Amino acid sequence: MTVLLLEYQSTLLAIDLAQVGRLTQQEGISPFDERLLFPSQGGTTYMQLKNDRLLPASRVIGIHECPAVQAVSPFLAGALKTNPYAGFFHHKDKIFGLLSPDFLAQKE
Amino acid sequence: MTEETAHPSPPPEPAAELPYLVVALGEETFVISLPFVVKIINPVEVFSLPDTQDYLLGIINHSGEIIPLVDLRRVLKLPAGGDSDRRKFLICRHLEQKVAFTVDGVVDTWDLPPGAFATDTTRALENDFIAGEGLVKGRPIALIDIAAVITAHQAKA
């Protein structure tokens, strides 16, 4: 799976590139999802998904061929108040959370 | 009918001692059953995640494995403390799940007889994660139940 690597509020995330339609720098878009507790901020790059949903990113890092993803363990799932992750993987000494298809499929 | 000859039974063998890891959390000393401890490592980079329970400090990468890191003080409801330069991460395993815990120092390993910890103390009865308490080598020691910590904090199926 090829993924888009991005950073938002110091959290490293990855999205299946097949879900991403285009990147945009629209302004004045309200925060997309309070469940991640990401506060609104300006100067953001937005990824427009193929279902037209917009996801913000502080920084788009690049594209990466994702190796095996480690599933979220029951313990970690219990520690996450909301769990948008399909799993985690490491790349260049960093850990990225791969956003799950279910999470991406949700409308705002 | 034959009479059985009574043989004196041999004295019972002393029960095998059990290994424990002795750790410091603030001013207190605790022990953890050593078989739960996979590895003791120096602190590594912690990747924080948004919107988590307060006991989760983040996740760490240990030899390619991504492991949640837990503040053991918060789990045990101990007062928050400052950073210790003897701080370590304990990677523990229970039922194939690995969880890393922060401790303020690793003191020693001890072999102790079964029954070294009383399970009916107030603290053991009131705290689900303290399995017992005892006075060991002149110190008051509490036994942390790592299995209970991991099991109780899992997502409910």
Question: Measured between alpha carbons, how far is B26 from B40 in angstroms, rounded to an integer?
Answer: 18
Contact between B64 and A89 using a beta-carbon 8 Å cutoff = no
pLDDT tens-digit profile of B59-109? 999 999 999 999 999 999 998 876 678 899 999 999 989 999 999 999 999
Give the one of B60, B65, B68 whose C-beta lies nearest to A79's C-beta.
B68
Which of B65, B66, B71, B75 is the mutation pick for testing A, counting most A CBs within 10 A?
B66
From the CA of B154, how many Å to the nearest CA of chain A?
Answer: 4
Q: Are strands B97-103 and B65-71 parallel, antiparallel or unpaired?
A: parallel
Contact A34, B51 (CB under 8 A): no
Strand residues in chain B grouped as ranges (E): 18-25, 28-33, 37-41, 56-62, 65-71, 88-94, 97-103, 105-112, 130-136, 139-144
Which residues from chain A sit within 8 angstroms of residue B153, using beta carbons? 75, 78-79
What per-residue confidence (pLDDT) applies to B20?
96
Question: If you ran DSSP here, which 8-state letter would residue B64 be given?
Answer: T
Write down the mean pLDDT value for chain B: 90
Residues of A in contact with B101 (CB under 8 A): none
CA B140/CA B142 separation, integer angstroms = 7
d(CA B135, CA A43): 60
Residues A88-106, mean pLDDT to the nearest whole number: 90
What does each C-alpha distance from A1 to A17, A18, A22, A106, B147 come to in angstroms? 8, 9, 18, 21, 36
Find chain A residues with C-beta within 8 A of B59's C-beta.
76, 88, 95
For residue A82, the chain B residues in CB contact (below 8 A) are 51
Residue pair A31/A56 in contact (Cβ under 8 Å)? The answer is yes
pTM exceeds cut of 0.80:
yes
pLDDT-wise least confident of A35-44, A50-59, B98-107, B118-127: A35-44
Run of H or E residues at A88? strand A85-91
- Preferred mutation among B47, B57, B151 to probe A, highest tally of A CBs within 10 A: B47
Model ipTM value: 0.86
Burial status of residue B115 (CB atoms within 10 A of its CB: 0-12, 13-18, 19 or more)? exposed
Provide, as residue numbers in chain A, all residues whose Cβ is less than 8 Å from the Cβ of B52.
Answer: 79-81
